[in-house]
Amino acid sequence: MNTNEGQHYDQEETDMILFAGSKPFMNSLQYNVCFIDSKFNPDFLAGDCMNIAFQLGKEPDVRKGHIVDWSYDGQVQKVKILDSAMLYVKGIRTRTYIVQFLEKDEDDVFISDNNRID
State if pTM tops 0.85.
no
Note whether 78 and 85 are within 8 A (CB): no
Number of helical (H) and strand (E) elements in the chain, helices listed first: 1, 9
Domain boundary assignment for the chain: 11-111
Cα 37 from chain centre: 15
pLDDT digits (tens, 9 = 90+) for 8-62: 778 888 999 999 999 999 999 888 887 777 777 777 778 899 999 999 999 999 9
Cα 14 to Cα 26: distance, rounded to the nearest angstrom: 7
Residues 55-112: pLDDT tens digits?
Answer: 999 999 999 999 999 999 999 999 999 999 999 977 999 999 999 999 754 444 444 4
State residue 6's pLDDT score. Answer: 57
